[in-house]
Amino acid sequence: MSTVTTPQQEIRPPDFLGIDHMLSDEERDIRDTVRAFVRDRVVPHAGGWFEEARIPPELTQELGRIGVLGMHLEGYGCAGASASATAYGLACMELEAGDSGVRSLVSVQGSLAMYAIHRWGSEEQKQQWLPRMAAGEAIGCFGLTEPDAGSDPGAMRTRARRDGSDWVLHGQKMWITNGSVADVAVVWAQTDGGIRGFAVPKDTKGFTTQDIHKKLSLRASVTSELLLDDVRLPSDALLPEATSLRGPLSCLDEARYGIVWGAVGAARACFEAALDYSKERIAFGRPIAATQIQQQKLASMAL
């Protein structure tokens, strides 16, 4: 006769996914480092950052010091070979368990702006931007989405035209994370030769930003509109290796991996908050956690 395992034997709330035994020692160390950082530097302040709709600038440098900015990239001050894809995912999971806006900042910095330069940029662009971005000393944003070209980026209206040896960009980008706090914007534009990417420093004449307020979620993550009014750039601002829509779409693919892990972190945080509350909420003389549905009942319902 088979025995039924009790729920207490099956469920371990601190590891409700049951993945700890699958991680390497290094991956667990990275996970624990980020978890401790989130516990000490994010959770106590997340509510205030949500109300203020901002993340303090110094946090970006602190994130750089623990090595999570561009941690899946190699060289140029990035963690690279010392961090597996799983380690990067675990970092995103822990960050979003603290605040989705913080994870968003890290994803855009590493998987969109830094990855675009790392994969499609020139050696000069990599040397100029990546070490500072990995350290959190420079922030990047990724200008792809437009008011009328969100899920269809091929329909973008922002254009770049040649003028002598320069490029001149004109257009508008919308819903850009890190937009107004970024030191460099990776902007994608239509050209006569297809969609191309450009590294636009924040102080370039004609380049301005405008923050989007009263968001429902990810409030602490700065979201902005980018305005490009005949922004003139030298030829070396062009990301030379990206020659089509494949360039920006590859960056989105890179970011989605961390975002999926982040969603799991947010779900875990919700579960843990509900579990803690169930132990404190008293109803009919005892905590509501004391009233559990028996597994045998669940099994009979499944039949």
Q: For 138-147, what is the mean pLDDT?
A: 97
Taking alpha carbons only, the member of 263, 268, 238, 292 closest to residue 117 is: 238
Query: What domains lie within the chain, and their CATH numbers?
Result: 15-278 (2.40.110.10)
Residue 303: pLDDT band by 50, 70, 90 thresholds? low
Q: For 228-256, what is the mean pLDDT?
A: 96
Q: At residue 30, does pLDDT exceed 50? A: yes
Q: At residue 302, does pLDDT exceed 60? A: no
Q: What's residue 5's pLDDT? A: 44
Q: What's residue 92's pLDDT? A: 97
Q: For 99-120, what is the mean pLDDT?
A: 97
Q: At residue 285, does pLDDT exceed 80? A: yes
Q: For 198-208, what is the mean pLDDT?
A: 97
Q: What's residue 126's pLDDT? A: 98
Q: For 65-76, what is the mean pLDDT?
A: 94
Taking a C-beta distance cutoff of 8 angstroms, is the pair 169, 189 a contact?
Answer: yes
Q: For 37-42, what is the mean pLDDT?
A: 97
Residue 284: pLDDT band by 50, 70, 90 thresholds? confident
Q: For 253-280, what is the mean pLDDT?
A: 93
Q: What's residue 84's pLDDT? A: 86
The mean pLDDT value of the chain amounts to 90
Q: What's residue 196's pLDDT? A: 97
Residue 19: pLDDT band by 50, 70, 90 thresholds? confident
Q: For 163-178, what is the mean pLDDT?
A: 97
Q: At residue 283, does pLDDT exceed 80? A: yes
Q: At residue 296, does pLDDT exceed 50? A: no
Q: For 200-207, what is the mean pLDDT?
A: 97
Q: For 195-209, what is the mean pLDDT?
A: 97
Non-local (6+) Cβ contacts of 278 within 8 A are: 287, 288, 289
Q: What's residue 150's pLDDT? A: 82
Q: What's residue 243's pLDDT? A: 93
Q: At residue 142, does pLDDT exceed 70? A: yes
Residue 179: pLDDT band by 50, 70, 90 thresholds? very high
Residue 13: pLDDT band by 50, 70, 90 thresholds? low
